[in-house]
Amino acid sequence: DSFWGYSMAIMDSGVPGRAQMGVQKSLSAITGLGEKEFNPQVHFIEKITIDVFGFSRGAATARYAIYLLLKDKKCLYKRLQNQGYEI
């Protein structure tokens, strides 16, 4: 990212870009262990607790990340359900 990206909170440094990156990293951590993929027949997810926090721009990013997890066409619920997990 460039100086302008950081100073104006646009491009990859902006709220949507940072929130999307965080969501993708979180989903990767939940659905895969390195090279091993979770198998819903073997692995059971009883509960997922998501804590988000931030100050100023970070708080806006945290709120937007929750929006992406709940309202996006491919929300966390649907992604796990599509992988065979019973929700």
Cα distance between residue 61 and residue 18, in whole Å: 7
Task: Give the model's pLDDT for residue 4.
Answer: 60
Segment-wise mean pLDDT, segments of 10 residues, the chain, 87 residues:
59 77 80 63 75 84 85 70 73
43-46: long-range contacts, CB 8 A cutoff, minimum separation 24: 45/80, 45/85
Task: Give the model's pLDDT for residue 27.
Answer: 75
**Whether pTM exceeds 0.75:** no
Instruction: Kindly tell me the sign of the dihedral angle through the C-alpha atoms of 29, 34, 39, 45.
Output: negative
Cα 53–chain centre separation: 13
